[in-house]
Amino acid sequence: MSGAPVPTTIPVGTDYDVVIGAGVLDRVGDLLGDDVERVLVVHPPTLPELTSRVAAALEAQGYAVHLAEVPDAEAAKTAEVAATLWAQLGRAGFTRTDAVVGVGGGTVTDLAGFVAASWLRGVRVVQVPTTLLGMVDAAVGGKTGINTAEGKNLVGAFHPPAGVLCDVDVLSTLPGADLVAGLAEVVKCGFIADPVILDLVEAAVADDPDRARSAANPHLRELIERAVRVKAEVVAADLRESSLREVLNYGHTFGHAVEQVEQFSWRHGEAVGVGMVYVAELARLTGHLTGPEGDALVARHRSVLESLGLPTTYPAGRWDALLTAMRRDKKSRGSTLRFVVLDGLAEPTRLAGPDVALLQAAYGLVSRHADAPAH
């Protein structure tokens, strides 16, 4: 028997499970459920070995596997790519009892989920995220979508997966910058719900900064599990983002605007890192964070993110473009901009319709000394 730790199973309400462990990639078929005959495996061109493993595991369990290679990164999340996959499903005769499996980062799982949600008004999807960002954020929660020229994730659907399989072993091949970007979403969960996450990150950095930013981080699996538990608890209580689930968007309104202004040349986690500092400053300006404790919490945003190598500033002179992008954000209500801010550590709340002058002032605080994006 192997001495590998037993996989951790985290339920998302009663809908599905997230399985986290080492060497669990071959268990993908166990999450598909009954009656499935055909499986479309959606994958990027950069993961031939992992895709082959997933396909082989499915074929060994008797599934008819159809492979669908899609572009890497945000280029996958377009209506044109989705239409190509719909055509492939149609040619292969996929029925309502068949399934889609997404293998890759968050862009692939977003796309795969949207295609599954829209084919025959909904077929099963199993997500196999291969990036840290995908494991702790994109693949968990049932939010699917594609981008348009007007903004990110503006077209999509809520479609809970049949299961999510997170094999932490695959993170050893993830480029360092991508792993660090994924840590931004982990840190977010620390600020909004589970401060132990911040303690673990700070301890790892103090022990060995380089190791803390890599797959060799001794706390990495626990960080993943804690972040997934935060998201699972929130999602289970609010499947369609009507109220509580908005807290998971901490740092995202400004972060998504940065991504759009930069034409998606910034990694998602890099943009969210700046976005978290932005809303921390906004919380202070609007009286949600006050006194020495508030100042210390704002400073902690910068110190934790910078210790991981994540950007905390953004160049000046781009306010008009950022504000336009934020007004298009899907979390806006009519003309009212909405932000998640903190009243204290792990005390998130909503801020609706703040004065534009305060929004611009917060931008001034994150754009100081920002001569160039920190990547």
Task: Locate 3 and state its tokens.
Answer: 């001495």
Tell me which residues are annotated as active site. Answer: 121, 143, 185, 231, 241, 245, 249, 252, 256, 268
- Phi-psi domain of 148 (left: phi exceeds 0; alpha: psi -120 through 50; beta: other): beta
75 is in an annotated binding site: yes
Strands (E), 3-59: 8-12, 16-21, 38-43
Q: How far apart are CA 161 and CA 32, in angstroms?
A: 9
188 is in an annotated binding site: no
167 is in an annotated binding site: no
77 is in an annotated binding site: yes
Nearest to 322 by CA among 271, 288, 246: 271
Q: How far apart are CA 49 and CA 63, in angstroms?
A: 19
34 is in an annotated binding site: no
76 is in an annotated binding site: yes
268 is in an annotated binding site: yes
Q: How far apart are CA 208 and CA 195, in angstroms?
A: 20
130 is in an annotated binding site: yes
Query: What is the DSSP secondary-structure string of 24-46?
Result: -GGGGGGGS-SS--EEEEEE-TT
74 is in an annotated binding site: yes
330 is in an annotated binding site: no
Q: How far apart are CA 199 and CA 313, in angstroms?
A: 23
Annotated binding site for NAD(+): 72-77, 130-131, 143, 152
Annotated binding site for Zn(2+): 185, 252, 268
Annotated binding site: 72-77, 130-131, 143, 152, 185, 252, 268
